[in-house]
Structures are given as structure tokens and as C-alpha cells.
């Protein structure tokens, strides 16, 4: 596995800090800390989707490499929001109780939005590096069916 394109500082720039997760001592340690472990997972996700050779060959400073970095930040952000959600839910105090549902709903929404953002940037990076990104999306893009309008359904295959 190649090193992730994103850095611990990228996640700190997203607004995450140690107190949001119970203040782990190694929160921002660059290679083995809390954020570094999340980034490693994000890097593996992007590398698996792009292919190891393509991921490793992304030249620093290119659009494709920047897209991969942003995809990693998005994936890591989604994971951190999920962890934040779990932390808040398990440590809810009585002062937060009335607003807890709103806080948890917002954290869920942000996690889903961050994962969508990660998929978008992953697709951009794949296209920029000459790959087909159609496997990232659900469905075939084809829709078929019959739409009935009016009061009476149409008759098919025979005279009325």
C-alpha cells in the first residue's frame, strides 16, 4: 500500500479535534495516531477503487492526485462523523438530552454528505487518470416502463 495522499493536517483543517472523540493522547500523531489510522483506511479505500498501480502512479501536484487526496479526506471525514456520532450517543448528558436527536441527526447527515463527496472526488480522480468510473455508481442509467394516464388503463394486444 502506498502512503495516503491526504495528511493528518487535512483532517485537522476540516475542524476535527481531540476533544470531539474523548481526547485520545495520540490524536494527531502523524504516523500512528488516531487520525493517521483513519487516513490509512481512507487511502486503502481510494487505492482499492482506483487500482494499486494507478494510485501509486499519481504524480504529486496533478489534478488526479488532488482528487484522490480530496476523496481520502471525504472518506475519512465520513468515518470521523460516524465515530463522533457514536461518541456523542454514548456520552449524552442530561443537558444535551433535549437536543440530542437534532445533534445526532446532523452528524448522520454530515457523514452521508462526506461519503457522497468522497465518491464524487474519487470519480473525478479516476476520470482524470483515464479510468472508467462507472462501477462507483448504482444502477445502469437505463429506465423503462409504462406510464398510465387518464381514467382507464390501455388495452394491449386486442380489440376493445
pTM: 0.78
pLDDT at residue 133 in the model: 82
Whether 44 shows a pLDDT value over 90: the answer reads yes
pLDDT tens-digit map of 73-128 = 999 999 999 998 888 877 665 555 667 778 888 889 999 999 999 999 999 999 99
C-alpha to C-alpha distance for 144 and 142, rounded to whole angstroms = 7
What is the CA angle 15-7-75, rounded to 5?
A: 70
- More confident of the two residues 90 and 72: 72
The mean predicted confidence, pLDDT, of the chain is: 85
- More confident of the two residues 104 and 153: 104
pLDDT at residue 141 in the model: 61
Contact 95, 57 (CB under 8 A): no
Whether 157 shows a pLDDT value over 80: the answer reads no
Q: What is the mean pLDDT of residues 48-54?
A: 93
Name which of 110, 125, 143 is nearest 57 in CA terms. 125
Whether 13 shows a pLDDT value over 90: the answer reads yes
pLDDT at residue 159 in the model: 53
pLDDT at residue 50 in the model: 93
**Exposed (0-12), middle (13-18) or buried (19+): which is 148, by Cβ within 10 Å?**
exposed
The end-to-end CA distance of the chain, in Å, is 68
**At 41, is the pLDDT very low, low, confident or very high (cuts 50, 70, 90)?**
very high
pLDDT at residue 158 in the model: 52
Contacts of 119 (CB under 8 A, 6+ apart): 71, 74, 136
Whether 149 shows a pLDDT value over 80: the answer reads no
**Which helix or strand (DSSP H or E) is residue 116 part of?**
helix 100-128
Helices (H), 1-99: 8-13, 34-50, 52-57, 63-90
Whether 12 shows a pLDDT value over 70: the answer reads yes
Amino acid at each position: 500500500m502506498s502512503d495516503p495522499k491526504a495528511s493528518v493536517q487535512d483532517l485537522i483543517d476540516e475542524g476535527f479535534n481531540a476533544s470531539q472523540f474523548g481526547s485520545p493522547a495520540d490524536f494527531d500523531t502523524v504516523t500512528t495516531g488516531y487520525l493517521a489510522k483513519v487516513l490509512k483506511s481512507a487511502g486503502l479505500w481510494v487505492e482499492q477503487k482506483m487500482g494499486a498501480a494507478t494510485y501509486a502512479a499519481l504524480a504529486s501536484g496533478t489534478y488526479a492526485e488532488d482528487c484522490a487526496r480530496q476523496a481520502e479526506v471525504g472518506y475519512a471525514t465520513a468515518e470521523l462523523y460516524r465515530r463522533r456520532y457514536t461518541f456523542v450517543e454514548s456520552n449524552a448528558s442530561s443537558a444535551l438530552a433535549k437536543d440530542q436527536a437534532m445533534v445526532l441527526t446532523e452528524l448522520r447527515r454530515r457523514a452521508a454528505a462526506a461519503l457522497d463527496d468522497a465518491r464524487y472526488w474519487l470519480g473525478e480522480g479516476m476520470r482524470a487518470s483515464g479510468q472508467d468510473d462507472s462501477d462507483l455508481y448504482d444502477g445502469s442509467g437505463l429506465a423503462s416502463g409504462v406510464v398510465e394516464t387518464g381514467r382507464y388503463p390501455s388495452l394491449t394486444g386486442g380489440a376493445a
